[in-house]
Homo-oligomer: A and B are copies of this chain.
């Protein structure tokens, strides 16, 4: 077997399994009491990412299936960030995620709200009532993390081939999963040792034990995994000879009435099918993955579980999957359950594990097991796994490094409630810090990140089809939408898009529809434009490409210009597009109205790239300094763009008698461009609530003039707060791919959740 696993391609596949996580947290108020508010993430029976567990106040997040711990950690963090930031502002009183597996404060068991469901899913509520009746509501508040693991399907294929087997591959698959599951049962005590983090609980939950920091302590590192955990009323024994016998024995337990359903079979390990956890699915489709259920919330990690532990667990599972098969007898089942309970002892030297007839302290057993794992990963020459094991060994040898001990000390010092709330507040602060980024998607445009974030929140499944192209597929209940760059969707028709892309035609249609647009001419050849210099000399004009985007290649001449400057600006525009426009300049402030459907969703005032002098630095130095702003970056992955130092900025400075080497006076504002796009270093100020309604009506009419559904309407206005009139505004262009980040993350003012608006619009229609 080991020879097989050392083949490079098989080894690669062995280490290329899949991971998915589920995590529960109770929602609490600042005072540590669980909240009684309704779940704020829509239909909990249908949401693919954010639902409730037993209680209405118990948020459960589930990641998509990921390829590795890095990815799953990112996914966990994204969902955690969305939930924490949402509940912190959703209700009149801020809410937080209680970061400890043991429950927060509550007034009485009576008060604990069972999760509510609509009529269609009333069965889910009934099952919870049955559990409350049978086990009591309090114990249902234990919250933890489930770690789901599946093999790479190609690994099973390859082994099947290497073993020369000719039977259906599904048999080997069942065998491999059953073998892994049994070994997981045998060694389920080890992950508990490594991840236990709930030594202390509150007296409102259980009035027993020694007082620690206002809470209680019973000598366990993890209450959930101790005898006080959430177990079946009696030990149940199953037939693990084959997948079929296993399924039969679960079905027997349900039919005999000992279990409500397979879901009531509480074990640290579950053998799971694809789809709902029904024995029928397991019988029909075979095993899809293994679920480990023993992990405590780790209050020391922002998201509830350390990435290092995810890695350790994956290596643990990889190792177990290479162990030989054995007969998992009722005796061994009883033994492994005892070992599991024993592993929750707070002191690794005073708890005992019995294996192969040998009883050792938890520490001894752990060290021996780590040693055996190390042998395997040494043979596999896997450095990262060995590093993980070194780290694990350190923690076992020095118990003060165990989470349970650190948490115990923290609670002792701060008190149970304050410790939990402080960790929750700290996590929320971290979540808010780079609020615009979505982990694992940082290479994609910020607008697309905002859209995916909205999907996670609103329960729409997403698939990234082409990262570089920012092309995603969204699905909800059989309804599919394709979206590129956040606003290119099925809702707009091709002709509208092309009309908006052609700025000259946009203006023509605006004008035909009675909307002011700057009077201008279209040029297909530079010479034609050169020849018209005399016509423009003395006027205030804008020269711009007919087809480009993001404000590149635009020059505005307000105060006279030489033929040389004019030709340079013509050439600059032609370098971006095969047609250019020269049009009248209209003096006013620059606004972007975001139209989606029949509504203006947001309005931003846009200010051209600028620096403010300090009396010492050159403009170049000021530009470079401004680049350090955390919201600024290159490309479309940051809310604001860098200020460029190219030909356009140089020409602009020259027109104002300056260069990059000029030193502005202190507090003097120097503009680097005339166009105000944030992508060329400009700033955006949210004005959604202050613009006069007549301008919103104008923006809607402008979008309608080209039949646009998603449309960025640029309006230059004298005073946006006064009613629109025939001579106080112009509409220089329409944008078919309007930036949403401009409105989500303005430099100044309230950000607008346009990502959510887009998703709602795509799936629910007009808003």
Check if B482 sits within 8 Å of A498, measured CB to CB.
yes
Expressed in whole angstroms, the Cα–Cα distance for A286 and B242 within the complex equals: 97
- Point out the residues of chain B lying under 8 angstroms from A489, CB to CB: 493-495
- Point out the residues of chain B lying under 8 angstroms from A495, CB to CB: 481-484, 488-490
Q: With A484-B495, A498-B488 in contact, do A505 and B471 touch (Cβ < 8 Å)?
A: yes
Q: In the complex, what's the smallest C-beta–C-beta distance from A63 to chain B, in angstroms?
A: 23
Candidates B469, B481, B490, B578; contact of A502 at CB < 8 Å: B469
Q: In the complex, what's the smallest C-beta–C-beta distance from A36 to chain B, in angstroms?
A: 43
Q: In the complex, what's the smallest C-beta–C-beta distance from A469 to chain B, in angstroms?
A: 6
Check if A466 sits within 8 Å of B522, measured CB to CB.
yes
Check if B493 sits within 8 Å of A490, measured CB to CB.
yes
Let me know if A89 is at the binding interface, CB within 8 A. Answer: no
- Point out the residues of chain B lying under 8 angstroms from A578, CB to CB: 468
Let me know if A200 is at the binding interface, CB within 8 A. Answer: no
**A residues 483-534 with Cβ under 8 Å of B?**
483-484, 488-499, 502, 504-505, 508, 522, 524
**A residues 420-478 with Cβ under 8 Å of B?**
465-469, 471
Expressed in whole angstroms, the Cα–Cα distance for A524 and B468 within the complex equals: 7
- Point out the residues of chain B lying under 8 angstroms from A499, CB to CB: 471, 482
Please name the residue on chain B nearest to A762 by beta carbon.
B495
Expressed in whole angstroms, the Cα–Cα distance for A551 and B329 within the complex equals: 66
Number of interface residues of A (CB under 8 A): 32
Please name the residue on chain B nearest to A496 by beta carbon.
B490
Let me know if A659 is at the binding interface, CB within 8 A. Answer: no
Q: With A490-B707, A493-B491 in contact, do A465 and B498 touch (Cβ < 8 Å)?
A: no
Expressed in whole angstroms, the Cα–Cα distance for A338 and B505 within the complex equals: 53
Check if B490 sits within 8 Å of A494, measured CB to CB.
yes
Candidates B466, B481, B498, B504; contact of A505 at CB < 8 Å: B466
Candidates B468, B469, B494, B502; contact of A494 at CB < 8 Å: B494
Let me know if A579 is at the binding interface, CB within 8 A. Answer: yes
- Point out the residues of chain B lying under 8 angstroms from A524, CB to CB: 467-468
- Point out the residues of chain B lying under 8 angstroms from A508, CB to CB: 465
- Point out the residues of chain B lying under 8 angstroms from A469, CB to CB: 502, 505, 579
Q: In the complex, what's the smallest C-beta–C-beta distance from A490 to chain B, in angstroms?
A: 4
A interface residues, Cβ below 8 angstroms from B: 465-469, 471, 481-484, 488-499, 502, 504-505, 508, 522, 524, 578-579, 707, 736
Top 6 nearest A-B pairs (CB, nearest first) are A482-B495, A490-B495, A490-B493, A492-B494, A484-B498, A468-B524
A-B contact pairs, 12 of them (CB 8 A): A465-B505, A466-B505, A468-B579, A469-B502, A469-B579, A471-B502, A482-B499, A489-B495, A490-B493, A491-B494, A492-B494, A494-B736
